[in-house]
Amino acid sequence: MVVTPTNSIALLTKLVQLDTVGGNELQTANFLDDYLTAHHIHHQLLEVEPNRFNVVADIGPDHGPIVVLEGHQDVVALGDLRKWHHLPLGAEQVKHRLYGRGASDMKSGLAAAIITMIDLAHDPSFTGHVRLLATIGEESSPINHMQGAQYFAQHGYMKNVTAMIVAEPSSVPINWLTQSPIKNPLRFSKTVLPALVAANHSTEQFVLNFAHKGSITFAVTAKGLSAHSSTPELGINAIDALIAYSQNQRTFFDSLTAKNPVLGKTVAVTTKFSGGQQLNSVPDEATLYEKVRTIPEVPNSWILDRLNALIADQNRNQSAHLTLQVLGDKRPVESDPQDRFIQLLQGIAQQELHQTIPTGGSAAGTDASELTKANPDTTVVVFGPGNMTAHQVDEYVDLDIFEAFVTIYERVLTTYFE
């Protein structure tokens, strides 16, 4: 049975209506279990954490190379419901848009991957091996997230994988291309941007990302000694010690001048700073939290070594004691833009979306950071139907683009395995 466009939109509608906020992926896993069974697709539900299941599905022969279609099941919080004009779990269709939490990030990408699997499974001329990996924990786990991708990597599901499409959102509004560099995240020259705009007659500009930054999430805690604020000399101020460390850390990050051609520089942001118990006491403990977006030229392991050296040096020269806790370590991803799979995808996507589609890189991470730890040679491309309304109120996906991506994925896989 070939899935028609009507059925593909029905699948997307159902996925958006499922409440998968905050690690509640069980609804999606159970639904996909029934859906894939009804369409005779071999699959498994794999329990990663209690009541949190990855879904893996395969079509094609057991031997030979494998192409992965990858997406996560969870979504971010709904936010303030009073600000939504369309119910976040309503999957309301208005003209050519479907609204709802996850419509862009990334239930449309996941639905396109599933429809592609079903269509190809029922095409007798298709002989390739395609694997669907649907993960938990990409959005909804604040510490060491991407547990679903970690599970797949650790249990052999990346073996023999030659290429992978991560179906995350990959477009920006076309008017961003004419705005200032601060508002325009695309790292294209001023001569390239006008040509993209001139060749694009839609509202969205797609980019085929063959690279994305990694990340390090960590906490540094300073422990001192409490005392009455009237006699601070009797205590050890943990906040003062942590501020001193923070300044040294900032100097270190500012010194990292290496640039990746498509990803730019390493970027570090202090996202949280807390300490002290009450206003009339010297604080005996304080913690800062940091998110670092990393590039291949400055390895995560080297950054952590340098931070630990900074801490060791400060501990030798002060009374407060500092420790570093790594909360997440995600590798940057970069493939060869001249790879056959990427070139094939770029060409077909340009035909189906009727626009020039440049290759590039993204500052945001994906499950590929964990999946490629098991198979670094995998050609990775981040390319899905979603847009920059991801995580926002009135998130939506363009349904014409969604259906175009089903066609893109099917054409690419059919041609790749010929």
Burial 229-248 (b: 16+ CB within 10 A, else e): eeeeeebbbbbbbbbbbbee
Other CB atoms closer than 10 Å to residue 281's CB: what's the count?
Answer: 14
Rounded to whole angstroms, the maximal C-alpha distance in the chain is 82
CA of 57: how far to CAs of 60, 128, 155, 380, 383, in Å?
10, 14, 15, 19, 20
Which pLDDT tens digit goes with each residue over 208-234? 999 999 999 999 999 999 999 999 999
pLDDT digits 0-9 by tens, 362-376? 999 999 999 999 999
Residue 344 · residue 220 · CB < 8 Å: no
Peptide bond into 388 cis (omega under 30): no
Q: Tell me the average pLDDT across 138-142.
A: 77
For 5-212+332-416, give the CATH class.
alpha beta
328: part of which helix (H) or strand (E)? Answer: strand 321-330
What is the share, in percent, of the chain residues with pLDDT greater than 90? 88
The model's pTM: 0.92
Domain ranges of the chain: 5-212+332-416, 214-330
Residue 180 has pLDDT above 50, yes or no: yes
Residue 16 has pLDDT above 70, yes or no: yes
Q: What residue type is assigned to position 310 of the chain? A: L
Per DSSP, 204 falls in state E
Report whether pLDDT(60) > 60: yes
Mean pLDDT taken over the chain: 94
**pLDDT band of 4, cuts 50, 70, 90:** low
Q: pLDDT per residue over 316-367, tens digit each?
A: 999 999 999 999 999 999 999 999 999 999 999 999 999 999 999 999 999 9
- Shared fold status for 5-212+332-416 and 214-330: no
pLDDT at 118: 97
| Tokens at 55, concatenated | 């879904």
What does the pLDDT average to over 371-393?
A: 96
Per-residue pLDDT, averaged over 67-93, amounts to 96
Query: Average pLDDT for residues 302-309, to the nearest whole number?
Result: 98
CATH class belonging to 214-330: alpha beta
pLDDT computed for residue 175 by the predictor: 82
Going by pLDDT thresholds of 50, 70 and 90, the confidence category of residue 134 is very high
The pLDDT value given to residue 242: 98
Mean pLDDT value of segment 42-54: 97
Q: Which residue has the tokens 């560099």?
A: 181
SS3 402: helix
Distance CA 286, CA 273 (A): 8
Query: What is the C-alpha separation between 368 and 332, in angstroms, rounded?
Result: 9
Angle between helices 399-416 and 340-353 (to 10 degrees): 140
Give the pLDDT confidence score for residue 3 in this predicted structure.
56
Q: Supply the DSSP string of 212-264, one letter for each residue.
A: E-EEEEEEEEEE-B-EETT-GGGSB-HHHHHHHHHHHHHHHHHT---EETTTE
**Which of the four pLDDT bands, split at 50, 70 and 90, describes residue 1?**
very low
Percent of the chain with pLDDT over 70: 95
**Is residue 192 scored above 50 in pLDDT?**
yes
pLDDT, residue 51, reads: 95
